[in-house]
Amino acid sequence: MRIAANDTRSCKSGRNNIFSKNFDFLYLRCMRFAFFIWSLLLVISVGCKRDVCDEVICRNDGYCDDGSCQCADGFKGLECQTQKTPQKIVIENLTINSYPETGNWDPQSPTDGSSDANPDIYVMLYQHGNLIYDGSENVLTDFTQSLPVELGVEIHKEGYDAPIKIEIYDRDFGGRTDQLVYQGTLSELYSKENKFPKSLAIDAQGASSEVSVAYTW
C-alpha cells in the first residue's frame, strides 16, 4: 500500500507539533523551578545577612552606625577609646555640704541687718598664687549649706595641672575684718583618664564641699 505525500507531510507535522508542545511544557517547568530556587536563595541570603554593627565595639557611650563608631562628646578613635583634651573647663558653681567646724562664722553682723545665724559669705579662687575669681562684691547673705554658689570660672589647658585654692570669707561690717572661715584645694581639675566627671570634691579639713564643672572640646 502506498502512502500519499500529503499523508507523510501531515504525519511529520503532527510529530513536530507534539515535540514543540512537550518542549514548551518542559521549558516552562524548568523556568518555574529556576525561579523557585532563585527566590529561595534570595530569602536565605537576606535572612542570613549580618548586621554590620554586630561585631563593632564602641566604648565610652559611643554607638555604631553603618559599621562605624559615633563617639560621645570628649572621645575619639575607632572604638571611641581615646579621651580628648577639652579646650576649656568651666567651674560652674561651688556647693558646701557641711560647714567647717570653726568659731569664725560670725552671725552678729549679717549684711542684710537681720539676726539670722547663717553667715554672709563670698568666695575667692587662686591659681599659681594669682587671684582668678573675686567674689567679694557678690556676698551671699544668710547663706545655708548645700546652696550652690555660682562661679562661672573658665580654666584653659595651661591651667589644668595646677591646683586651685578656694577661700570662703564671712563678710563683717562695722569696721571689722572679714573672717576667713574656709580653705580648700581643688587638687586635680583634669586627668587624661577621668572620663569627665560632672563634680569634683574639694580637699578641705572639717568641711565637705564640691564644684560642678562643664567641658568644652
Q: Are residues 169 and 200 in the same domain?
A: yes
- For residue 74, what are the CA distances in angstroms to 67, 69, 156, 201, 217? 21, 14, 15, 21, 7
> What's the CA gap between 103 and 34, in Å, rounded?
95
Cell (9 digits) for 76: 575619639
CA-wise closest residue to 184 among 208, 167, 162, 163: 167
Q: Are residues 79 and 94 in the same domain?
A: no
pLDDT for 111 equals 43
Over residues 42-67, mean pLDDT? 82
Instruction: Let me know: does 154 contact 216? Beta carbons within 8 Å.
Output: no
Q: Give residue-wise pLDDT tens across range 152-197.
A: 999 999 999 999 999 988 887 666 788 888 889 999 899 988 899 9
pLDDT for 47 equals 54
Cell (9 digits) for 213: 564643672
Q: Are residues 61 and 166 in the same domain?
A: no
Q: Domain containing 59 — which CATH number?
A: 2.10.25.10
Q: Are residues 125 and 195 in the same domain?
A: yes
- pTM for the whole structure: 0.69
> What's the CA gap between 138 and 161, in Å, rounded?
28
Q: Domain containing 163 — which CATH number?
A: 2.60.40.150
Domains identified in the chain, total number? 3
Q: Are residues 102 and 202 in the same domain?
A: yes
Q: Are residues 120 and 174 in the same domain?
A: yes
Provide the residue range defining the domain that includes 26: 1-48
Q: Are residues 26 and 60 in the same domain?
A: no
Q: Are residues 42 and 57 in the same domain?
A: no
Q: Are residues 119 and 196 in the same domain?
A: yes
- Residues linked to residue 74 through DSSP beta bridges, in sequence order: none
Pairing of strands 63-65, 68-70: antiparallel
Q: Are residues 179 and 190 in the same domain?
A: yes
Strand (E) or helix (H) holding 169: strand 164-170
14-28-41 Cα angle (round to 5): 160
Question: Is the backbone of residue 60 left (phi > 0), alpha (psi -120 to 50) or beta?
Answer: left
Pairing of strands 149-156, 164-170: unpaired
Instruction: Let me know: does 190 contact 200? Beta carbons within 8 Å.
Output: no
Instruction: Let me know: does 173 contact 139? Beta carbons within 8 Å.
Output: no
Q: Give residue-wise pLDDT tens across range 131-164.
A: 999 999 988 887 776 788 999 999 999 999 999 9
Q: Are residues 141 and 194 in the same domain?
A: yes
Mean pLDDT over the full length of the chain: 80
